[in-house]
Amino acid sequence: MHAYWRAANYLSVGQIYLLGNPLLREPLKFAHIKPRLLGHWGTTPGLNFIYVHANRVIKQRKSPMIYITGPGHGGPGLVANTYLEGSYEEFYPHIDRTTAGMQRLFKQFSFPRGIPSHVAPETPGSMHEGGELGYSLSHAFGAAFDNPDQTVIAVVGDGEAETGPLAASWHSNKYLHPVNDGFVLPILHLNGYKIANPTLLSRISHEEISKMFEGFGYKPHFVELKTETFNEKDESFTEIHQKMASTMDLCMAELDAIRAKAQAEMDAGQPITRPRYPMIVMRTPKGWTGPKEIKGKKVEDYWRSHQVPFSDIDEENVHNLENWMKSYRPEELFNTDGSFKPELAELAPEGALRMGSNPVVHGQESKDLRMPDFRKYAVTFDKPGTVNVEATRVMGKFLRDVMDENEEQKNFRIFGPDETASNRWNDVFDVSGKTWFADYLEADKTNDFLAQDGRVMEILSEHTCQGWLEAYNLTGRHGFFSCYEAFIHVIDSMFNQHAKWLKTTRTINWRKPLPSLNYLLTSHVWRQDHNGFSHQDPGFLDHVINKRAEVIRVYLPADANTLLSVTDHVLRSRHYVNVVVAGKQPALQYLTMDQAITHCTKGLGIWDWASNDQDGEPDVVMACAGEVPTMEALAATDLLRQHFPDLKIRFVNVCDLMTLQPEKEHSHGLSDREFDALFTTDKPVMFAFHGYPWLIHRLTYRRNGHSNIHARGYIEEGSTSTPFDMVVVNKLDRFNLAIDVIDRVPVLQKIGAHVRQKLSDKLVEHGQYIAEHGDDMPEVKNWKWPY
The residue (of 353 and 483) whose beta carbon lies closer to its own copies is: 483
* Residue 56, C-beta contacts closer than 8 angstroms, at least 6 positions apart: 1, 245, 248, 347
**H, E, C per residue of 125-137:** CCCCCCCCCCCHH
CB of 138 to its own copies, least distance (A): 9
Of 190, 573, 272, 572, nearest to 436 by C-alpha is: 272
Residue 127 near residue 139, CB atoms below 8 Å: yes
Of 184, 201, 183, nearest to 192 by C-alpha is: 201
Backbone angles phi, psi at 115, to 5 degrees: -115, 155
Binding mask 31-50 for its own copies (x = CB under 8 A): ---xxx-xxx----------
Span of 21-29, 345-353, 594-602, 716-724 interacting with its own copies by CB under 8 A: 716-724
CB of 436 to its own copies, least distance (A): 8
The residue (of 375 and 503) whose beta carbon lies closer to its own copies is: 503
DSSP 39: -
| Residue from 2, 61, 63, 167 binding its own copies (CB under 8 A) | 167
* Residue 426, C-beta contacts closer than 8 angstroms, at least 6 positions apart: 393, 396, 420
Binding flag, residue 733, its own copies (CB under 8 A): no
CB of 504 to its own copies, least distance (A): 7
**How big is the site for its own copies, counted in residues (CB under 8 A)?**
129
Q: Where are the beta strands (DSSP E) in 191-269?
A: 218-224
Which amino acid is it at 342?
P
The residue (of 272 and 596) whose beta carbon lies closer to its own copies is: 272
| Residue from 2, 641, 697, 731 binding its own copies (CB under 8 A) | 697
Map the footprint of its own copies across residues 522-581, applying CB under 8 A: 529-535, 537, 539, 542-543, 546-548
The residue (of 327 and 496) whose beta carbon lies closer to its own copies is: 496
Map the footprint of its own copies across residues 761-780, applying CB under 8 A: 767, 770-771, 773-775
Binding flag, residue 215, its own copies (CB under 8 A): yes
- Give the HSE-up count for residue 503: Cα atoms under 13 Å, Cβ half-sphere: 12
The residue (of 486 and 563) whose beta carbon lies closer to its own copies is: 486
Give the strands of the sheet with 151-157, arranged side by side: 65-69, 151-157, 183-190, 277-283, 218-224
The residue (of 504 and 592) whose beta carbon lies closer to its own copies is: 504
The residue (of 164 and 786) whose beta carbon lies closer to its own copies is: 164
Orientation of helix 75-84 relative to helix 2-17, angle to 10°: 120
Residue 286 near residue 193, CB atoms below 8 Å: yes
d(CA 786, CA 784): 6
The residue (of 58 and 469) whose beta carbon lies closer to its own copies is: 469
Counts for the chain of helices (H) and strands (E), in that order = 27, 22
CB of 278 to its own copies, least distance (A): 16
Binding flag, residue 279, its own copies (CB under 8 A): no
CB of 648 to its own copies, least distance (A): 27
CB of 226 to its own copies, least distance (A): 15
Backbone angles phi, psi at 519, to 5 degrees: -115, 135
d(CA 358, CA 351): 8
Which amino acid is it at 719?
S
Binding flag, residue 141, its own copies (CB under 8 A): no
- Cα separation values, 650 from 28, 276, 677, 712, Å: 76, 63, 11, 17
Binding flag, residue 118, its own copies (CB under 8 A): yes
The residue (of 381 and 495) whose beta carbon lies closer to its own copies is: 495
- Cα separation values, 514 from 318, 429, 499, 575, 689, Å: 45, 27, 12, 5, 31
Of 626, 608, 604, 627, nearest to 618 by C-alpha is: 608
Span of 162-170, 315-323, 406-414, 581-589 interacting with its own copies by CB under 8 A: 162-170
Binding mask 377-416 for its own copies (x = CB under 8 A): ----------------------------------------
Binding flag, residue 613, its own copies (CB under 8 A): no
Q: Where are the beta strands (DSSP E) in 158-274?
A: 183-190, 218-224
Residue 485 near residue 357, CB atoms below 8 Å: no
d(CA 19, CA 17): 7
Residue 393 near residue 593, CB atoms below 8 Å: no
The string of DSSP letters for 302-317 reads SGGGSS-S-----HHH
Backbone angles phi, psi at 391, to 5 degrees: -60, -45
The residue (of 707 and 749) whose beta carbon lies closer to its own copies is: 707
CB of 210 to its own copies, least distance (A): 7
Of 423, 429, 556, 428, nearest to 487 by C-alpha is: 423
Task: For residue 411, count other CB atoms closer than 10 A to its CB.
Answer: 23
Backbone angles phi, psi at 95, to 5 degrees: -95, 65
CB of 167 to its own copies, least distance (A): 4
Map the footprint of its own copies across residues 305-344, applying CB under 8 A: 307
Binding flag, residue 496, its own copies (CB under 8 A): yes
Map the footprint of its own copies across residues 168-207, applying CB under 8 A: 168-171, 174, 194-200, 203-205
The residue length of the chain stands at 787
The residue (of 88 and 303) whose beta carbon lies closer to its own copies is: 303
Binding mask 421-460 for its own copies (x = CB under 8 A): xx-----------x-x-xxxx-xx-x-x-x-------xxx
Span of 28-36, 312-320, 567-575, 605-613 interacting with its own copies by CB under 8 A: 28-36
CB of 255 to its own copies, least distance (A): 20
The residue (of 367 and 698) whose beta carbon lies closer to its own copies is: 698
Map the footprint of its own copies across residues 740-759, applying CB under 8 A: none
d(CA 283, CA 263): 34
Residue 479 near residue 436, CB atoms below 8 Å: no
| Residue from 236, 409, 487, 681 binding its own copies (CB under 8 A) | 487
Span of 116-124, 222-230, 362-370, 385-393 interacting with its own copies by CB under 8 A: 116-124
d(CA 360, CA 365): 6
Span of 77-85, 418-426, 609-617, 650-658 interacting with its own copies by CB under 8 A: 418-426
CB of 25 to its own copies, least distance (A): 22
CB of 455 to its own copies, least distance (A): 15
| Residue from 67, 216, 526, 576 binding its own copies (CB under 8 A) | 216
CB of 201 to its own copies, least distance (A): 9
Binding mask 497-516 for its own copies (x = CB under 8 A): x--x--xx------------
Span of 91-99, 110-118, 565-573, 681-689 interacting with its own copies by CB under 8 A: 110-118
The residue (of 547 and 643) whose beta carbon lies closer to its own copies is: 547
Span of 297-305, 592-600, 676-684, 734-742 interacting with its own copies by CB under 8 A: 297-305
Map the footprint of its own copies across residues 633-692, applying CB under 8 A: 692
The residue (of 132 and 405) whose beta carbon lies closer to its own copies is: 132
d(CA 225, CA 41): 19
Which amino acid is it at 184?
V
The string of DSSP letters for 51-63 reads HHHHHHHHHHHT-
d(CA 204, CA 201): 6
The residue (of 385 and 538) whose beta carbon lies closer to its own copies is: 538
The residue (of 225 and 591) whose beta carbon lies closer to its own copies is: 225
- Give the HSE-up count for residue 370: Cα atoms under 13 Å, Cβ half-sphere: 11
CB of 421 to its own copies, least distance (A): 4
